[in-house]
Chains A and B, each alone.
Chain A
Amino acid sequence: MNHAVGRLWPEKTSILVVEDSAATAHLFSARLKMEGIDVLTARNGIEALEILRQGPISLIVTDLMMPGMDGYRLVREIRQLAPPLGMIPVIVVSSNQRESEQLKCFEAGADEYMTKPISLPLLVERIYRLLRRSAPTP
């Protein structure tokens, strides 16, 4: 099954996956690469901010609980950056299902919150919709 069928990704789409579990990061990036898009991975918020400053990133998918710098702080730090870096769409993926945690993430500046366990095809679909909405209109 070709999951890329029917989806026309914006040119040079590059996704940054921030996840401390190497197994999960690998699975996420393998699934996203099947769409023909570039995927970078970081193990925590500090690495993610470094990567973000080095090159253009279209969207960030981040875990919440990570050593070094967690997802909340990462989202807050990103939102404090000058545009266009500060405007990058961020999807938080976490196993924490509590309403208060989700609200905390949205208040920090996240665009989407998905609770684990997640369906990766659904994550891809959310990323696609979010990128389409945030893409500049011709």
Chain B
Amino acid sequence: MRIPTLPIEHSALLKMLLWATLAVGALVVALILTSALIQAWSDRINRRRIACFKAWEEALPEYLYQMKPLEEAFGTISARDLAFFRAFLLRYRSTLGGEDRRRLRALYHGLGLDAGLPLRLRHSKAVVRAQAALEVETYDCRDLLGPVAGLLEDGKPFVAFSAARTLARLQSSAHMPGVFAWALRQEDYQQDRILELLEDFGPELLRWIESTTPAENDAAIWRFYALLAAGLRDDMALPTLIRLLGRPGIEVQAAALRALGALGDLSVWEHIRPFFAAEAPPLRLHAARAAGNLGQLLAMDELVAILEDPVYEVRREAGIALTSLGNPGLEVLRWVAADLNADRFARDMAMERLEWGRP
């Protein structure tokens, strides 16, 4: 039998295909081996981390509550495990307070974990910068507040937020203007968490705004001022809040009404009363809410009147305010609900509130 032979050009093509197949095969094998090595390496690191965490979890209560010295409780922590230890301590960052927190700080500084913070605050990875900023607050590293303030201009919003939170929680007066300027640049939908953050500065922030901001200045500043005064329940803000009621601008006036209601000082009632007749519905709404918060029985007539308000939200707020006044308010609601000649809106709202039982 005669074996057929391929022409010369076909045999060269076959060789090329063979070598190409071998090369691709070798590449695939190399890739598989490399990924297996990487996986094995990361598994090893994870196993080491888990083992360390387990051992340290047992040691932490001994260090914190049996007052064992660091070395005795945790043994010697090798340099390569220090990064793990930093991560381990951070798990308790938001849990432990009081003396426990002070002991954690001593542990952090005792192991020299703060030494790498200046570099980590400038790290190329945003997560590392944010984490470092939070550590400055957790472990009270006040000498690093300057670099933390620099992060307020960071391109990543969560890094800037971490920096602002650290500066606020450590009540750094020097950086208060910077944090407030940062807060004013944030979007409206962030308002609640920004206010919560600014409240950490305490009433000192309000005094600073009063002393540095002209009355005719940006409405956003005064709106923040009023909302902060409400959150902080700061009595010393009363005169400024009353002045803000006379300042043009619905948003500022509404925030001031909200704050005056929150402060619970009945002497401000005469300043609130005219807003029941305001043209803008948000002002009528906040006047009703303030009356409810103040528990102002003298507001009964005004509240009953705006039970007929054309805007549902205002009527609802009046109904809630009346229930907040206790039995006298509930009596009025019952009376309106039973009165067949009463305004239809007012009657519906009175029945709705009574059905709810409580606001």
Residues of A that sit less than 8 Å from B by CB: 1, 3, 21, 23-24, 26-27, 30-31, 34, 95, 116-122
Hey, which chain A residues are within 8 Å of B92, CB to CB? 23-24, 27
CA gap between A24 and B58 in the complex, in Å: 12
A116 and B61 in contact, given A1-B66, A1-B67 (Cβ under 8 angstroms): no
Q: Besides the contacts A1-B65, A119-B99, what 6 more A-B pairs have beta carbons closer than 8 Å?
A: A1-B66, A95-B94, A117-B96, A118-B95, A121-B98, A122-B98
Hey, which chain A residues are within 8 Å of B99, CB to CB? 119, 121
Hey, which chain A residues are within 8 Å of B67, CB to CB? 1
Most chain A beta carbons < 10 A, residue from B58, B92, B100? B100
Q: Can you identify 13 A-B contacts, CB atoms within 8 angstroms?
A: A1-B65, A24-B92, A26-B57, A30-B58, A34-B65, A95-B94, A117-B95, A117-B101, A119-B99, A119-B101, A120-B65, A121-B99, A122-B98
Q: Which of A3, A116, A119 is B94 in contact with, Cβ under 8 Å?
A: A116
Hey, which chain B residues are within 8 Å of A1, CB to CB? 65-67
Q: Which of A3, A21, A116, A118 is B65 in contact with, Cβ under 8 Å?
A: A3
Hey, which chain A residues are within 8 Å of B141, CB to CB? none
Hey, which chain A residues are within 8 Å of B100, CB to CB? 119-121
Chain A CB within 8 A of B60 CB: yes
Residues of B that sit less than 8 Å from A by CB: 53, 57-58, 60-61, 64-67, 91-101
Give the dominant DSSP class at B's interface. helix
Most chain B beta carbons < 10 A, residue from A26, A27, A118? A27
Q: How far is the CB of A70 from chain B (nearest CB, A)?
A: 18
CA gap between A26 and B101 in the complex, in Å: 17
Hey, which chain B residues are within 8 Å of A116, CB to CB? 94-95, 97
Hey, which chain B residues are within 8 Å of A34, CB to CB? 61, 65-66
Hey, which chain B residues are within 8 Å of A117, CB to CB? 93-98, 101
- Nearest residue (CB) in B for A22 is B57
A24 and B97 contact, CB distance less than 8 A: no
Q: How far is the CB of A127 from chain B (nearest CB, A)?
A: 15
Hey, which chain B residues are within 8 Å of A31, CB to CB? 61, 64-65
A118 and B96 in contact, given A21-B91, A23-B91 (Cβ under 8 angstroms): yes
Name the 3 nearest CB pairs between A and B, nearest first.
A119-B98, A117-B97, A30-B61
Hey, which chain A residues are within 8 Å of B101, CB to CB? 117, 119
CA gap between A26 and B58 in the complex, in Å: 9
- Nearest residue (CB) in A for B98 is A119
